Amino acid sequence: MENETLYHGTCKAFVKLASQYEGKFGPSDFMWFTPEIEHAKMFAESWQKARGLARLKQMFETEIDPSLAEPVVLEFSSERLRELVREDDAGAVAYRAMGPVEIN
């Protein structure tokens, strides 16, 4: 794969978690990325909806301050990600990469 800009749609809660756990964004060992920024924005915004907030509560095993569900879209260079596997995500191009990832 040539160097490509990829995006990861998430929320403040996961960015905070990743900064505390050396780039690990959650319980799984992989993350999803897309070259389509609008798709990443859509996913990031989903954390603010009732289903997203319920999922955050389940994942963090506690009530989450709604401000931590604020959308965040992170930008990465594909060259800095490991083991990218191309997959289809509801009609959008997506790549699964093994984590953790470096964030700055």
Domain ranges of the chain: 5-60+68-98
* Residue 20, φ and ψ in degrees, nearest 5: -90, -25
For the chain, report the end-to-end CA distance as a whole number of angstroms.
23
Which range is least confidently modeled, 27-36, 43-52, 54-63? Answer: 27-36
The number of beta carbons lying within 10 Å of the beta carbon of residue 32 is: 20
The winner for highest mean pLDDT among 6-15, 26-35, 89-98 is 6-15
Whether residue 27 has pLDDT greater than 60: no
